[in-house]
Amino acid sequence: MSAPPARPLRIFLVAGEHSGDALGARLMMALTAQRPGISFSGVGGPRMTGAGLNSLFPMSDIAVIGPAAIIEHLPHLLRRIRETAQAAIEASPDVVVIIDAPEFTHRVARRIRRARPDLRIVNYVSPSVWAWRSWRAARMRAYVDEVLALLPFEPDVHARLGGPPCTYVGHPLIERRHWINALDPQGLRERLGLSVERPLLLVLPGSRRSELARLWGPFTATLEALRATGHRLDVIVPTVENVREIVEERVKHWPFPTHVIEDEADKFRAFKLASAALAASGTVTLELALAGCPMIVAYRVDRLALLFRRLVRPPHFALANLVLGERAFPELMQESCVPEELAPALAALLTDTPERARQLEALARVPEAISMGTPPAIAAAMRVLAHAER
């Protein structure tokens, strides 16, 4: 008599931010392509829902960023943490995958591990233990069976800090490199009426209201300093829907013709057209690097965040620099995030200077530094299946 067919795998996923929702959706599609019939449950956003997840509650319920916001919403977040962990325990999945958003997902993972130490837990996207709160790496060993890293240096960091087993699966941006390369930027120039005589500057102060509050002042003062020294520029500010209205109102006071764009393809077209970018530290530095755009990286965190973070001193803060293992792109953080330093650094990139040539050489090395033979979503899916099938 033939053996009964194996039951479908059950995978419980937890994502807490829009970036995690995108990663989770790609992971789910890669998993289904390799093992049709997988049953998904957990918490996710619209992309994961579209890929087949029946989310316990809207992901927007838990998408709060920063220590101050977390404190304000703490009772609600704690309730959602309990509900999510209990749902995972009751679902008895073959594997749990927590995706980014460590302030939420790691608390869920710890509760699951206490109640069901037999359930395997995979952490997709390493917390930034190389930048701050490095002690988290060792603590994660108690409730994470494997970390799937987006950045090539992270496995070595976890090994050095005593963290869980960590595997580099590749950054999802590398999957988009060919799409970025195929974009024709000239149509955007014509649609926006950009001058071929003036350099184009990108200004990227972040997509969160807290980032805008901290960076808008120094970025605006930097533009005013550039105008005072005789520069004539066109400016583009790529943004997202939730802050577009704020950005459009504020750029009215800027000293150069400024265009606000939201479309993602247009964002990368602008990256390819621009002479330089003034960018908040984050994933956007890798996006700029893949598009070949020279940049100055700047950031400020509030005092409360500094108290919570117990900052250590990594060699670099910008992801593009960390990937290369060198400070190829200037990092002007905290006290250095002022127009007196930002404006001269940007001016050195707006014309053919040795600094610009040096950055262009470094930009050409970034794609190779993060590329892998296997697409990242497939590499991540293979590791998740390895745990699910145990």
| pTM for the structure as a whole | 0.81
- Tell me the Cα Rg of the chain: 22
Q: Give the integer Cα–Cα distance in Å for 238 and 215.
A: 15
Amino acid type, 208: R
pLDDT of residue 107: 95
Mean of pLDDT over the chain? 90
Supply angle C-alpha 255, 257, 263, rounded to 5.
Answer: 125
Q: Give the integer Cα–Cα distance in Å for 201 and 212.
A: 18
Class of residue 271 by CB neighbours under 10 A (exposed 0-12, middle 13-18, buried 19+): buried
pLDDT of residue 311: 44
3-state secondary structure of 305: helix
Per-residue pLDDT of the chain (390 residues; tens, 9 = 90+): 444 456 789 999 999 888 899 999 999 999 999 999 999 999 999 999 999 999 999 887 776 555 556 666 678 788 999 999 999 999 999 999 999 889 899 999 999 999 999 999 999 999 988 777 889 999 999 999 999 999 999 999 999 999 999 999 999 888 888 889 899 999 999 999 999 999 999 999 988 787 888 899 999 999 999 999 999 999 999 998 878 999 999 999 999 999 999 999 999 999 999 999 999 988 899 999 999 999 999 987 765 444 444 444 566 778 899 889 899 999 998 888 999 999 999 999 999 999 999 999 999 999 888 888 889 999 999 999 999 988
Query: Is 23 within 8 Å of 125 (Cβ atoms)?
Result: yes
Domain 10-170+372-388 in CATH 3.40.50.2000: yes
Distance of CA 211 to the CA centre of its chain: 14
Domain boundaries, the chain: 10-170+372-388, 177-370
CATH of 177-370, one of 3.30.300.130, 3.40.50.2000, 2.40.110.10, 3.30.499.10: 3.40.50.2000
pLDDT of residue 208: 79
Distance of CA 263 to the CA centre of its chain: 18
Backbone angles phi, psi at 72, to 5 degrees: -60, -40
Q: Give the integer Cα–Cα distance in Å for 388 and 390.
A: 6
| Two domains, one topology: 10-170+372-388 and 177-370 | yes
Class of residue 36 by CB neighbours under 10 A (exposed 0-12, middle 13-18, buried 19+): exposed
Across the chain, how many H-helices and E-strands are there?
19, 13
DSSP-derived letter for residue 59 is G
Q: Give the integer Cα–Cα distance in Å for 124 and 169.
A: 9
